[in-house]
Structure 1
Amino acid sequence: MRALAGLGLAVLTCAAALPGEAAAAGAPARAEHAEGGGLSAVVRYTEYGVPHIVAKDYANLGFGTGWAQAADQVCILADGFLTLRGERSARFGPDAKPDGSLSSATSNLSSDLFFRGLNEAKTVDRILDSPAPAGPTQQAKELMRGWAAGYNAWLAQNRTTDPACRGADWVRPVTTLDVARRGYAITVLGGQGLAADGIAGAAQPGAAPRSAKAPADPAEAARKVFGEQRRNAGMGSNAVAFGGSTAANGRGLLLGNPHYPWQGGRRFWQSQQTIPGELNVSGGSLLGMPVVEIGFNERIAWSHTVATGVPTNLYELRTVPGDAHAYLVDGKPERMTERTVTVPVRGKDGSTSRVTRSQWWTRYGPVVTSIDDLPLPWADGKAYALTDPNAESLRFTDASLALAKSRSVRGVQDALRRTQGLPWVNTIAADSGGHSLYTQAQVLPRVTDELAGRCSTALGRQTFPAAGLAVLDGSRGDCALGRDADAVQPGIFGPSAMPALVDAPYAENSNDSPWLPNADRPLTGYPRIFGDVSTARSLRTRGAIEDVSAMAKRGGLTVADLERHQFANRAPAGALAAADAAKACAALPDGRATGSDGKPVDVSAACGVLARWDRTVRTDSKGAVLFDRFWRRLVRSAPQAELWRVPFSPASPVTTPNTLNTASPAVGRALADAVAELRGAGIALDAPLGEHQFVERNGKRIPIAGGADALGIWNMIESAPWDSARGGYTEVRHGSSYIQAVGFDGGPCPAARTLLTYGQSSDPTSPHYADQTRLFSAGRMVTARFCEKDILSSPQLRVVRVGER
């Protein structure tokens, strides 16, 4: 905050003073004014359209944030509020699919039924009106109120240029409640939001669930829902904190690299938020949120990664014979509560009809007939109810605000202990004192191993060990979740149960369990619902630990080293398997392998390409395309036990399994299919990656480095499905998003470099639609402007005073 002393509150009352100060610093600046009273803020834009928002209090800070977000992302925001109002079917018909940012609903109708059910039950209204900690603090409420006012003021004073919603009548003003509903939807993404289809009217006795075919292996289905499909939906990340012993100046370092969607409502947006003397934080916010979720101040930096903890559990109900809407608890019947929800639906002829469904609620939560692709049929005297403790929380905003105010790793721990508001993420942090932190401080149902042992049903005995999804006996009152003494709400684990690693030379997470944030300091002793222990790590985790442990041992680290690591683009799968694949290729009789269609393919030219490939996924890497297409096929078709000759060993979790099993027929088959595919598309086997992994922005191709989760790459990029006719991977679905590399020099100005890979705006008419995407393509980051002297010296400084009228 000391950096603001020279500026003080004058910036809030006289924006005209700023251009003079900027000029004195040698920076050209342009001031724009919005006349009128009410809420207001000063927004100072620097390079790449990053706003630095200054306000006198939380309501005014929220106002400036809402205004600036609307200026960059009004169409995506408006589309999200339409979703939250349950009006998609009335506008776009019932069958189209929402973008998935606010729930896993597979159709507009399902989405509308889910959100209208919440709205008509006044779920968020009740929590919003509750005193903290059950509800948000006054500061959080003021931020929400201000955000809504800022968004509305922008709508009233500006004309939308984005063709996605230009002139659309569904772009409407919002309320504080709408902002709270958006935060709530994000909070329950891993619980009720994941089961939206199964809650939203599909839950009727005897009705077939959306995935009507029962899985042969419920454990595998649960693993996919709470692991693979979560990552496929764009919920993943990497982060590493380095302790002072590894840094050149003895202070902490942090590299955060969340993997989030490049389109839709789960995009990040970058800003600096300042209330002089109270708050000064810079970082990335999820759209529609009035706070920074991942960021830094002058003393700490933090990031989040999606955790393995399962933030929900199921209760298997025994229904009363002859009455499927009543269930037994300790032998006594309890009736379900019916919620009737009606949604207006536009037909293909433009007419409007109404669809009504019943949703059923129990003491444990809503009845569900599926969680994503895991069917839970309501039949044969059974039903399933979903317990989601995050459904009683709006604490995410307060948790983020508390992190932004923290001054040390100890302060981060205290903030997480007080707020207990992170729904489905880990936290990794570093501070200027040289301390590092990893912790899985998330809201989880209090399913201890003892409770699961005595209360799991037959289904739960399969899903809990495999995936951490508890299915408990709802007919027994002694199977209730109970309460930890230090928990802010019943039915969740308290802070003392949370796995944590403090002051390790490095602490890293890449969406694996808490077991191995540091290879030399494994964490154990936590309940299974948090994650597993002594199991094979993902290739991304293994590659990350190899890289960051080597960096820590080398020492003398700086922010520049973090940036180099972000763009090293090493492919751990290639390091493990490319040489063996090349040798097996060279040993094939006549250089031929048989494809999956039974036809022989001449793969001899591929042998040298794989051998010469540099094992990276840079835009100029030759051989990366071939290995990528080969490897994806191989890991889909070959079980892990068949893929490697040396199996996994808990004693060597970073280096096992290893040695490609080239005797497996799947290896030759995958290589033959990859070669045939590339030749059929006219793509050279040694074509540079950037020619066939790219995005198009305003008619221009931008080559994209990085690679898929299956390749184990830190700079993860999950592209849209391969399209041979269009030249390969032609769009990014999710991956590296808001990246920050942060260090400290002991003064008020953190040494930080940032990058928002897809840019601040989704409006193709904006100058910030693809400017940072081009930087990402070039492997470059932006030097952050945090202190006043840096903001005022920006050659692109633009100052805007925004107000309600």
Structure 2
Amino acid sequence: MKGWKWWQKGLVGVVGVLVVAAAYIFWPQGVWPFVINLDDIAPPPGAYDATILRDEWGVPHIFGQTDADAAYGLAYAHAEDDFVTIQDTLLAANQLAGRVHGRDAAPIDYFVHLLRIWDTVNAHYATIAPEDRAILQAYADGINHYASLHEAEVLTADLFPLTGEDIAAANMLVVPVFFGLDTAVGNLFAGPPEDAPSGSSSCLLPPVCVDTAYGSNVFAISPARSANGETLLAINSHQPWSGPAAWYEAHLHSQEGLNVIGGLFPGSPLVILGHNEHLGWSFTVNHPDLVDTYRLEINPDNPDQYRFDGEWLDLDVRQVTLWVQIVGRLVIPVRQETLWSVYGPTVRQDHGTYALRYASMGDVNLLTQFRHMNKATNFAEWQTAMREGGLPMFNTGYADADGNIYYVYNARLPLRAEGYDWRGILPGNTSETLWTAYLPFDDLPQVLNPASGFVQNANSTPFQTTIGPENPAAVDYSPVFGIENFMTNRALQLLDLFTADQAITPEEFNTIKYNMGYHPESDVARVAEMLAANPPAGDENVAAAADLLADWDLQATPESEATAVIVMTFYYLNQSDAVDLNPSRLVGTEIPLAVAQDAFLQAVDWLVTHFGRVAVPWQEVNRLVRGSVDVGMGGGPDIIHAVYGQLQEDGRLHGFVGDSYVMLVQWDGDGRLTSQSIHQFGSATSHPESPHYADQAPLFANRQLKPVWLTEADIRAHLEREYRPGD
């Protein structure tokens, strides 16, 4: 019996241990009582002086004594609206994504190790200007403060307390993803890079991939083109509607010169695009060649050496540990190798060892440039900020109260040796392929105050920014820079619309922004004409759909019935291996008639199956769905009013990317400022219970804007709530 009792006691003990272990493993991440202890991470009382004024749309207006105070208040306000996405951004930079989100997120942690982001931060953080380090730390403290008061929302205590270095690392991670560095790495893991098809995208970071294929618009007119001496700017970035690259609207004001409103991403301490009293700017994605891949020649007697300029050099080899969640709190260590060569991050695979080199590698000055842009008071100051080179890409448009308009093909363009195929795989054994300098900013393609009175870019070539002789000349730039020569439907439309109107009013400028037309030279117009003239054999539905295309005015308005036919035809063309289609660049694509006919038949079948007919108003198909809001829209792929949808089981398309945060800015002839904006959803990004979860969606779908308030008096006239962080 004694043995039995001992066994019983032992069993009870084992069961107890298992129960505790199971409780730990399966207890929600944010509330485990023995792990979370965040009471002490908030900054001490009085460390910052910030007040948050929420206007009637829930938009936060942050008033601080210093720039750092404003950043602290911004962090707290943004965390109130979207703490989970901010955490996801910071988890990635801190190599904790796999620990929290499991196997699919672990490549993010590897990517950070591979790029040695923390080596750069640790080595160069002290070189960042003191005022910018103060902003970074203040932003971190704002997030810490929110986390200390909302422990149940914390994804993992391992993320906290945050520091300024964490915010710097997160910002270093984002930009290379925009110019496709993650894709270049992912392609190396997918197989020999020589075998990767053109335009392939083996994204290494599925949870945080930034799909830049959907484009953006920026355009401006000067008093030379406006009806009454106005200067007008359209800020019209096309971003995902949710996630780490979705826009958030905020206003920052300090006694040190900040007074800027616009869009920013989770984890950003300053406005990325927007305007202050004096000037405004915006971006579209450009596609210069900023990433190079090299095949290394490995020493047959030592796999950790490579030949360079006739010598065998040692690879810097590290073994790193990735912590990967299996279930609940159960995580396992996974060992991975990361390498570094003279070129930069290096990957060893069965098919070879490859090095990567990319623009602005090791640069930590992005925030400094944005601070100077946010606080600039005139064109000279703003352009000086752009010359700093912290931002390695993006077409950039600008306008100001003095009537200046400007476009620059902003890029850190490597100065490369001629005679190599820089779009291919390069020899990694010679210093001839190791570039170390960039084309000076003042030599980039740019246009300042053209006689035409307008500039525009819609992810299109910089060589057709305006009309007339002031366009940059393509012959002045080597092909090794990879500068685009193509046009988009949006760019063709903008050029035609501005050319046709010599005296544009603010109302006409708004109408141009919401133009829903396809250009006669677009792929869409060409395919519609081709199918109307050569419809495939079929029943009366096929004939009816062809008739709709024959009568179509190329406008993707909410009421258009032909639009549903042609957009769904292009949906199926995009699924076809026979066509290399870019949904945001529907110009110049080779589309054989037979392939178009097959896609057309699939589109007809889809419409009949889900709607019982082919004559379906576009707004019945093209929907904005957010909580209880479900409204129809116009617009479509590669249209100035851009909307891209995901196909649902009920046959409808739910918008998920395209026009998102839109802002139209006006300075009248006397320099007086007014502006309007709209967000696709609202300010409360992750709180369905909030009145601001979808309050802007009906306006957005109806192509309407709301006022932007920049002065404290105007904000208080439309005030919903005033408080300090932690109240």
Which bracket does the TM-score occupy, shorter chain normalised? 0.7 to 0.9
The Cα shift of 1:277 comes to 5.5
The aligned residue for residue 145 of structure 1 is 137
The aligned residue for residue 47 of structure 1 is 56
The Cα shift of 1:383 comes to 2.9
Bigger drift between 344-353 and 771-780 goes to 344-353
The Cα shift of 1:642 comes to 13
The Cα shift of 1:445 comes to 2.6
Matches within 5 A, 1:301-320: 301-320=280-299
Matches within 5 A, 1:37-186: 37-94=46-103, 107-116=104-113, 122-129=119-126, 131=127, 136-158=128-150, 165=153, 172-186=160-174
Matched residues in 1 for 2:165 and 2:203: separation?
34
Residues 707-741 of structure 1: per-residue CA shift (max 9 Å, x gap): 12xxx301222222x23x323213x3321122111
The Cα shift of 1:759 comes to 1.9
Matched residues in 2 for 1:220 and 1:531: separation?
14
User: 2:659 matched to 1:736?
Assistant: yes
Cα separation, partners in 2 of 1:292 and 1:223, compared to 1, 3 Å = same
Matches within 5 A, 1:588-737: 593=537, 602-634=541-573, 664-708=593-637, 712-720=638-646, 722-723=647-648, 725-730=649-654, 732-737=655-660
Residues 390-424 of structure 1: per-residue CA shift (max 9 Å, x gap): 2311222122221122233333222212x211122
Q: 2:448 aligns with which of 484, 502, 508?
A: 502
Cα separation, partners in 2 of 1:249 and 1:324, compared to 1, 3 Å = farther
Q: 1:340 aligns with which of 302, 310, 319?
A: 319
Q: 1:513 aligns with which of 444, 448, 461?
A: 461
Cα separation, partners in 2 of 1:305 and 1:121, compared to 1, 3 Å = closer
Cα separation, partners in 2 of 1:219 and 1:434, compared to 1, 3 Å = same
The aligned residue for residue 649 of structure 1 is none
SS at match of 1:153: helix
For 1:194, the aligned partner's letter is: D
The Cα shift of 1:330 comes to 1.5
The Cα shift of 1:608 comes to 2.9
Cα separation, partners in 2 of 1:568 and 1:75, compared to 1, 3 Å = same
Residues 183-214 of structure 1: per-residue CA shift (max 9 Å, x gap): 11113224685258559xxxxxxxxx532376
The answer for unaligned runs of 5 or more in structure 1 is: 1-33, 95-106, 200-208, 370-376, 483-490, 595-599, 644-653
For 1:787, the aligned partner's letter is: T
How many residue pairs end up in the alignment? Answer: 674
The aligned residue for residue 35 of structure 2 is none
Cα separation, partners in 2 of 1:601 and 1:93, compared to 1, 3 Å = farther
Cα separation, partners in 2 of 1:692 and 1:137, compared to 1, 3 Å = same
User: 2:712 matched to 1:761?
Assistant: no
Matched residues in 2 for 1:481 and 1:213: separation?
24
Residues 311-333 of structure 1: per-residue CA shift (max 9 Å, x gap): 22233322222323211111111
Q: 1:480 aligns with which of 429, 434, 441?
A: 434
Could you tell me whether the CA contact under 8 Å between 2:624 and 2:697 is conserved in 1?
A: no
The Cα shift of 1:170 comes to 7.0
Cα separation, partners in 2 of 1:587 and 1:695, compared to 1, 3 Å = closer
Cα separation, partners in 2 of 1:748 and 1:801, compared to 1, 3 Å = farther
Matched residues in 2 for 1:797 and 1:348: separation?
42
The aligned residue for residue 413 of structure 1 is 383
Cα separation, partners in 2 of 1:47 and 1:548, compared to 1, 3 Å = farther
Matched residues in 1 for 2:44 and 2:426: separation?
59
For 2:560, the aligned partner's letter is: S
Bigger drift between 326-335 and 209-218 goes to 209-218
For 1:139, the aligned partner's letter is: E
Matched residues in 2 for 1:476 and 1:579: separation?
48
Matches within 5 A, 1:242-261: 242-261=221-240
Matched residues in 1 for 2:263 and 2:429: separation?
45
Cα separation, partners in 2 of 1:440 and 1:641, compared to 1, 3 Å = closer
SS at match of 1:392: coil
The Cα shift of 1:250 comes to 2.3
For 1:494, the aligned partner's letter is: P
Could you tell me whether the CA contact under 8 Å between 2:288 and 2:483 is conserved in 1?
A: no
Calculate percent identity across the aligned residue pairs. Answer: 23
Matched residues in 2 for 1:748 and 1:641: separation?
47
For 1:565, the aligned partner's letter is: I
Cα separation, partners in 2 of 1:633 and 1:602, compared to 1, 3 Å = same
Cα separation, partners in 2 of 1:402 and 1:251, compared to 1, 3 Å = farther
For 1:138, the aligned partner's letter is: P
Matched residues in 1 for 2:424 and 2:580: separation?
27
Matched residues in 2 for 1:122 and 1:772: separation?
42
Matched residues in 1 for 2:297 and 2:108: separation?
28
Matched residues in 1 for 2:548 and 2:706: separation?
35
The aligned residue for residue 364 of structure 1 is 343
Bigger drift between 109-118 and 298-307 goes to 109-118
Cα separation, partners in 2 of 1:573 and 1:356, compared to 1, 3 Å = farther
Cα separation, partners in 2 of 1:618 and 1:800, compared to 1, 3 Å = farther
Bigger drift between 83-92 and 503-512 goes to 83-92
The Cα shift of 1:155 comes to 2.4
The aligned residue for residue 775 of structure 1 is 699
Matched residues in 2 for 1:695 and 1:184: separation?
33
Cα separation, partners in 2 of 1:172 and 1:564, compared to 1, 3 Å = farther
Could you tell me whether the CA contact under 8 Å between 1:298 and 1:748 is conserved in 2?
A: no
Matched residues in 1 for 2:210 and 2:347: separation?
23
The answer for unaligned runs of 5 or more in structure 2 is: 1-42
SS at match of 2:386: helix
Cα separation, partners in 2 of 1:60 and 1:232, compared to 1, 3 Å = closer
Bigger drift between 390-399 and 187-196 goes to 187-196
Could you tell me whether the CA contact under 8 Å between 1:192 and 1:388 is conserved in 2?
A: no
SS at match of 2:283: strand
The aligned residue for residue 368 of structure 2 is 398
RMSD: 3.5
The Cα shift of 1:84 comes to 2.2
Cα separation, partners in 2 of 1:733 and 1:142, compared to 1, 3 Å = same
Residues 76-125 of structure 1: per-residue CA shift (max 9 Å, x gap): 1112222222223323321xxxxxxxxxxxx3221122224557853222
Cα separation, partners in 2 of 1:300 and 1:605, compared to 1, 3 Å = same
Cα separation, partners in 2 of 1:367 and 1:573, compared to 1, 3 Å = farther
User: 2:720 matched to 1:791?
Assistant: no
The aligned residue for residue 25 of structure 1 is none
Could you tell me whether the CA contact under 8 Å between 1:421 and 1:442 is conserved in 2?
A: no
The Cα shift of 1:217 comes to 7.0
The Cα shift of 1:73 comes to 0.9
The aligned residue for residue 291 of structure 1 is 270
The Cα shift of 1:692 comes to 1.6
Matched residues in 2 for 1:527 and 1:314: separation?
19
Matches within 5 A, 1:395-544: 395-417=365-387, 419-447=388-416, 451-453=417-419, 456=420, 461=421, 464=422, 469=423, 471-482=425-436, 491-504=437-450, 505-520=453-468, 521-524=470-473, 525-532=476-483, 535-544=485-494
For 1:707, the aligned partner's letter is: G
Matched residues in 2 for 1:704 and 1:733: separation?
12
The Cα shift of 1:480 comes to 2.9
The Cα shift of 1:220 comes to 5.4
